[in-house]
Amino acid sequence: MITGADALGLPGRVNPLFLEGPLLPIETPVAKELQLRDGQVVQATLRLNGGQPELMLRGRIINTPMLMLGHLAPTVWMKVVQTPQGGWALQPTKEPPTPALQAVTPLSPPMTPSLSQVASMPPALLPSVYSRMANLLFRPPGPSDVTQLFRPGTLDALLKTLARPDLQAQWRGMQLSMAQITPEAISRALASALGAEVWLSRGQSAPTSDPKLLLRKLIQALQSTDKSANSLRLVQSDEPDDLVQTLSAGQRDSDTPPATFAQLQHAFEEMESAQVQAVQAQAQREVLFRMTLPFVDAEPVELVFRREPRNSDQLPLLTVNVHSRSEAYGPVWLKTQLEGSQHIDLTMWAEKADVASTARQRSSELGQQLQQAGLTMRSFQIVHGARPVAPADFTPTGRGLVVDMSA
Tens digits of per-residue pLDDT, 175-184? 999 999 998 9
Stronger pLDDT, 289 or 47, i.e. the higher one:
289
The residue-averaged pLDDT of 19-30 equals 73
Tens digits of per-residue pLDDT, 110-166? 334 444 444 444 544 444 545 667 777 777 777 889 999 999 999 998 998 888 899
Question: Is residue 300 within 8 Å of 150, Cβ to Cβ?
Answer: yes
Question: How confident is the model at residue 10, as a pLDDT?
Answer: 32
**Contacts of residue 197, Cβ cutoff 8 Å, sequence gap at least 6:** 1, 275
**Predicted confidence band of residue 397 (pLDDT cuts 50, 70, 90):** low
Question: How confident is the model at residue 48, as a pLDDT?
Answer: 63
State which amino acid sits at residue 238. Answer: D
Q: Is the pLDDT of residue 192 over 60?
A: yes
Question: Is residue 53 within 8 Å of 64, Cβ to Cβ?
Answer: yes
**Contacts of residue 107, Cβ cutoff 8 Å, sequence gap at least 6:** 4, 8, 113, 117
Question: Is residue 335 within 8 Å of 303, Cβ to Cβ?
Answer: no
Question: How confident is the model at residue 253, as a pLDDT?
Answer: 42
**Predicted confidence band of residue 99 (pLDDT cuts 50, 70, 90):** very low
d(CA 106, CA 101): 8
Question: How confident is the model at residue 53, as a pLDDT?
Answer: 64
| Burial bucket for residue 171 (CB in 10 Å: 0-12, 13-18, 19+) | buried
Tens digits of per-residue pLDDT, 223-262? 887 655 554 444 444 444 433 333 333 333 445 567 788 8
| Burial bucket for residue 301 (CB in 10 Å: 0-12, 13-18, 19+) | buried
Question: Is residue 306 within 8 Å of 314, Cβ to Cβ?
Answer: no
If we measure between CA atoms, which residue out of 110, 351, 133 comes closest to residue 223? Answer: 110
Question: How confident is the model at residue 147, as a pLDDT?
Answer: 94
Tens digits of per-residue pLDDT, 33-87? 788 888 888 888 776 665 566 777 876 777 666 544 444 456 778 889 988 888 8
Question: Is residue 366 within 8 Å of 345, Cβ to Cβ?
Answer: no
The whole-model pTM stands at: 0.61
